[in-house]
Structure 1
Amino acid sequence: MSRLHKMSIQGIRSFGNRDQDTQVITFFSPLTVIVGPNGSGKTTIIECLKYMATGIMPPGAKTGGAFVHDPKVAHDTEVRGQIRLLFQDVTGHNVQVQRTLVATQKKTNISLRTLEGIIIREGINGEPIQITSKCIELDKEMVTAFGVSTAILENVIFCHQEESNWPLSEGKQLKTKFDDIFAATKYMKALELIRKIRTEKLQTVKISRAEIGHLKTYRDMLVQKKRQYAEIDERRQTSKVNVESIQLKLEPIDSRLEFIAKESSKMVDFQRRMDRLTNECEALKKKIREFNTIIDEPFQGSEDELKLLISNFQRDQDKKKRELQDLEAKKLTTERQIKKLLDKRTSDTTRLGGYEFEEKQYKTNLIRRQQFVDEYIQNSSQIIDKTNLINYFDKQIKIEQKTLMEKRLFYQQKETNVQQDLDKYQEQRIKIESTIKLKSSQVEKTLKEIQDIKQQQKQIEQYLNKLNDLNKRIERKEDEYQQKLSNEINIEQLKIDISSDEQKRVQLQFQLKDLNNEIDNLLVNSKINTEYEMFKKEKLERDEQIRKIKVRHHEILTTIFQGSIPEEDSNIYNQFEKEHRKLQQNRSILEKQIQDIRQTLSGKEEKRRLLADELKRKDLLRNEYTDRLQEQLNGQIYEKYLEKLSNDVKQKQDDKGSIVGMEKTYQKFVNQVRSTLKTDPCCPLCYRKFDKQSEGEQLIRDMEIQIKGPEYRQKIDHDLILLQEKFEKCLNLKPIHNQLQDIEEKDIPTLKNSIKQLDNEINQLKNKQNDLEQELNDKICLPLEQCEQIKTDIIMLNKYINERKGFETKIHVCQQKIGK
């Protein structure tokens, strides 16, 4: 006898889903009494035992909200319920069973799924053997271990309190329950199987008797065939002897033919070899002629020297090949390094653009925060200290968070109460709907049974009329019989009448049997007709539900399917899933494209910003160089100013040279005149004699007057030094002038063109981004939201379509049965 030991419950109904909420119930022998107030979990223990023993959940628990711990109460989206049971099976061994359920909170309902079950038994040597539900049927194993049928476990031992009034149910339902409990159906099936086997065996006997006659005919034919076979065998033996003698004669001929065949094959091989060698010889001669035409200077050395040269050449060639391979490897390595550096530069530029974009966003957020703070301070009725503004906001946030938590707890409690009421109403609604369905089905069945009874009553009345006619005929026959007995007894005639009456009685019994069979067929057909009408009604309901869903979402389906809804209802779900996946893939692709465009745009904007900064720097540098040049050139052109300074310096140098030469010439002339005044006064140039010495002195004074003084020469030197300094400064400004020309003619136009090109690319990227975002919002997100909106109804539509197919199959089966 099986016996319960322990059971642990976690995450079932009112039992919590945490490890510390696990409850262990110990069962005592011979009796365990479970006592507690309402809602403490007494019924839950019985439900858990029933679920562990049979795998059947309580009524209304298939959605998970009525059996597994509510995820809303647990403040989690997923709750795991686990039950473990330790008991002793009918063989006296301990068995441990574990079942696990997972309830997931969806948007509108709770979905329930069953995880893998585990059963642990004791092995031969007492070691534990663990088997999962993937390897065995856990429900059947539990029934075998308890030694009691599923019907007794479900309806007697672990019967739910809502189903405990089944003994008071309708007759047919009650009969079904008792048949399941006492396994009456098995015995009925066994009897039917015995009858069927008996009928088959009788049929087999009839067939065997018929086959015996055929077998006798076959036996006679076999005897005749055996005689014919003996005659044929004698002829065969004679032919065999003749064949052996002929084979002995043919053996030397065969050996000779084999020898000739071998020799001919050798000859053929030799001929092929000779042809091949001839072809090779011709090819070698042709190559030799080709080589002779190619070789300009034949090698004069020996064959060994030629081989040595060839080996040296091959060695050098191999060395060059290795060097070439090394260089190619170095080239590939260098190209990879260059590619890595380019990729790194690109990624760094992209990251820099991203960082700049984040910096802009951060600065924008700071400005917005400051504006919000200023507006809040202006709108606030309290006096707020800006130095302690963060502390003030922290206090306000804490106060608001506390208020929010209180409101959240209040509304959560309210939501829990509403959910409990809603669950109660749902349970009541389910019970009422099931009662209505049961009553309506019972009413329909009762009406159909009444119609069947009426038909049977009409048939019985017909049979009664026939029976009355038969009784009247019997009475007439008896009267005739009595009259004949009274008149004259004719034994032979009586025997004939009795035999005829007996035959009529047998015929009437056969007719009665046929009528009974017909009644049984009519009953079966009425049952099939009832099922047919019921299935037809269910199919019409599914058609109406499908039609309502299609009408309700016709516009959305038309939009999703691009104006053509599939004609076959069975293709709607598959097409919807295909379009849904396609929309999700397109959304991912567009989002990735938009993200790539944003990154590229950020990199382009960062590059444009760098180019703008560079352009600004070049402008500043150009202004600086222009100011420096204008300061030195006084608004003149650099080349002309430099040429003018060069000409002025040359002019001053020429003036200085001419003055110095003139001074020396005049001084020499004065000295010569003075020297002549002492001895022979005359002009040193023309040798004109002076009449008086005073003339010579007057000439000296005139010459000294013509000679400019040192002040004039110092002035020229000073002017020359200034011009040379200006010229040197102007020469020093030449690199600046060249740089300014490069900036104005090359750098600034190049930067402006690059910025203009980047502006065009940025505008194109922004337009493309706007187009993609518009396409994402209009063509992807909106249909995707519509898909999510009608997804539940489409799933229900597919369910109704599958149910309709099932009903159509059942209707077809019923039609076939009715046709039979």
Structure 2
Amino acid sequence: MSRIEKMSILGVRSFGIEDKDKQIITFFSPLTILVGPNGAGKTTIIECLKYICTGDFPPGTKGNTFVHDPKNRLKEIEQNLSKIMRLDNEIKALDSRKKQMEKDNSELEQKMEKVFQGTDEQLNDLYHNHQRTVREKERRLIDCQRELEKLNKESRLLNQEKSELLVEQGRLQLQADRHQEHIRARDSLIQSLATQLELDGFERGPFSERHIKNFHKLVRERQEKETEIANQMMNDFAEKETMKQKQIDEIRDKKTGLGRIIELKSEILSKKQNELRNVKYELQQLEGSSDRILELDQELSKAERELSKAEKNSNVEALKTEVISLQSEKADLDRTLRKLDQEMEQINHHTTTRTQMEMLTKDKSDKDEQIRKIKSRHSDELTSLLGYFPNKKQLEDWLHSKSKEINQTRDRLAKLNKELASAEQNKNHLNNELKRKEEQLSSYEDKLFDVCGSQDFESDLDRLKEEIEKSSKQRAMLAGATAVYSQFITQLTDENQSCCPVCQRVFQTEAELQEVISDLQSKLRLAPDKLKSTESELKKKEKRRDEMLGLVPMRQSIIDLKEKEIPELRNKLQNVNRDIQRLKNDIEEQETLLGTIMPEEESAKVCLTDVTIMERFQMELKDVERKIAQQAAKLQGLDLGRTVQQVNQEKQEKQHKLDTVSSKIELNRKLIQDQQEQIQHLKSTTNELKSEKLQISTNLQRRQQLEEQTVELSTEVQSLFREIKDAKEQLSPLETTLEKFQQEKEELINKKNASNKIAQDKTNDIKEKVKNIHGYMKDIENYIQDGKDDYKKQKENELNKVIAQLSECEKHKENINKEMGIMRQDIDTQKIQERWLQDNLTLRKRNEELKEVEEERKQHLKEMGQMQVLQMKNEHQKLEEKIDNIKRNHSLAIGRQKGYEEEIIHFKRELREPQFRDAEEKYREMMIVMRTTELVNKDLDIYYKTLDQAIMKFHSMKMEEINKIIRDLWRSTYRGQDIEYIEIRSDADENVSASDKRRNYNYRVVMLKGDTALDMRGRCSAGQKVLASLIIRLALAETFCLNCGILALDEPTTNLDRENIESLAHALVEIIKSRSQQRNFQLLVITHDEDFVELLGRSKYVEKFYRIKKNIDQCSEIVTCSVSSLGSYVH
């Protein structure tokens, strides 16, 4: 048994996502009402309930829009992300700039300003002297840095001390300013108080101690004098007030005495007036007593006449005698009826046998008819299937053979389906493999085209090798040209040679020589640039050659894919497609065969049931014939006198007579009772009239006494009126005098209070000012006693001293910083000089190495002159070609190896996949599962038939129960006259085949009026549709939701008129009343109709409801309200 206690909502649709927005709703039992406008969040509460109970999201949400949308939180993240990306770009730009600067610095460091012209020893001496100078300057710089750190530390200490002294100086200056303010405030208060008290000698300040003591003495004297005057004035006022109070008390005593007299006389007067009224009332009553006595005499004589007449007409004794006679007749009739019952019982004993005989004969004819109907129904069908009309055993044997044939066909069909699935899987695998190979071929061709730019890979590679060889020769030529041109220029300039170093031509003039030198120098200047560009171009070509050599295996793979692998896959795919088509044709043939056999088996199964019933009827028919023979033997030789009808007729006549006699007895008894009650009533009336007449006679004798009492009471009342009037006349002047004295007393008290207040205010003002003067004097004395002025001067001197020290320290730091700047500048200059010296040393070393290489070159050239250079070049070229061929074959082998390795990895990966791993074990398990499933299917078929019958019976029972609840709810709710009630009707789908195990029902709602039933679809109004929907939901919940008694109604009054809304509320209250005993019953109603809520609130089940609204942040809130507040709520 389940129920809902409370629920917390946070971050769902319009409900807020912060902790402060969390809403908690406690569900009442048995009724919880949610009220609110559209869009406030009422339905969201029901959707939350459904989600926590079932886990289902509302329709159309898919979990995306049900919870709070977090996209608004992404704006800040996107802003931060864009900022991070911008900073990342800036960092990359700075890194690039840094690398460029480092490169530029490296190039600059490699360049030299000039070359040292001295000897190596001079250069080394100069370098070592420079090193010593730099080390001395660095040591001096370190000393200066230490000294500067020491000064910085000292400066920090002085600044800290200065800050502390400045804080202390500010504090002391604030105290000094406050001290002066206290003195000025004290003097101002003294002047003000002296002016107020009219004291001389205190017009101007500042005041000394003597002046202040004298001032305090004068103020105390003046305070004592003012206090004495005020006390004397209060005593005078007190004496006057006492005298006035005494006069008031005397007047008040007189007034009180007169008032008491008036009060007593008024009470006596009131009593006498009441007595007078009572006496007059009694006299008034006695005035009509004489007439009443005459009326009573007439009524009494009339009642006595009626009493004597009733006693005379009474026949009670005769009626009693008749009752006794009738009772005797009734006893005789009872005895006769008992005899007739005994006779009837004897006749019925043999009548039962004849009745059984008739029933058995009828049963025999019925069974003959049933057997004939079954034979006529299935004769043609069974004869067409078997050639004759079989019995049960013959039909079961035929069904068994057909079932075996169907199973064999199904086995063949399953085997073909399995082969088809395997072929389809193989086809998919081949398609995927073909697609992968084609994509691989396309990818290889794209890569090859990106590198080569054309499809002629071999020719491009050969052409690139030739270009590389040419570029290599050109680079070697340019590298050697630099040295040759330099040597030629040196020879032409240094050795004063007048002939050309190459052709040995003699220059005729100096101009020709200079022209040759200039030409050589220009070529020498251009040689490095040409060499650099040639080397760059050579590197690019070599890189491209390496890339193309790396693509050689890929080129071979392309050829294999185009010529071998892809065509083979396509041939395999065509073969598989032919196998699939063949299998599909075989499957279609087996399905056709199965479709022919199965209907025959189904129709035979249907006939088997009727054949079984027919055989059972035949067995029962034999049993009935045997019973008929037994009953005929019992009735043989029996002769009866009267029939059952004759005995029954006589019994009815006697019973009618008995009823008539009983009615007469009851009637006579009622007449006897009525006559006795009438006589008793007349006697009682006569006695009452006699008693009233006696009472009136007694009252007439008291009349004279009452008249005398009236005269006496009237005299006393008039006397009391006069006495009260005299007392009131005496009381009036006393009240006037009392008011006058009280007013005078109040004026006197007001004057006293005013004078006392003035004196008290004046005294308090003087005391307050004196108190303030004492406070200021105390602060002034404390300041002077603490020596704050001397302490302030001392701190100011310390501050000036610290400032001077700090200034001197800053000057020293400035001098050291200047010296350090000069030294750093000198060190930087020395570093430039050091770099120049190091470059010169490196240059000397490189020149020496160059000379050594030049000598080795000359030696090698000399040795080369003795060798066969052309033969060695040819041999070298052949060896390079052989190396290239070996490299090419090696690359091809590596490419093919990688392809095979990839295929091996691919096949191993496929073998590790679930579909190939443990295939034999899975096949064995699936075979066991298949055989087990076949056995289970047979058992399930038997279970299905039994279950189907049970479900049909349960369905019909539940439909009757639901329709009964719907009929009761409709009649108690609907106020119209056009529909008596509605019900749900279910029609089984007749188009379902025999092999389909699912049973389908078509449900429809109909409305009934008399014997006419019409579908409600398209014929009812919107209000009737809503009411029908609610009633059907209530009926379904009543029937199927006993263990989960939670029912939610969302806007149940939509499209309903006021009369039906009232009846719906009444019906809901009745449902709650009937289901309130169920512990887990809870009804949730969502509505915006407050009148509907008020109707529900009239019951005892609703005291509070929840109002759903939105706050200022447009977040939904849940507020608990009382039902009594509905009338006062302002929307």
Normalised to the residue count of structure 2, the TM-score between the two structures is 0.21
Between the two structures, name the one with larger relative contact order (CA 8 Å, sep ≥ 6): 2
Normalised to the residue count of structure 1, the TM-score between the two structures is 0.28
| CA radius of gyration, larger in | 2
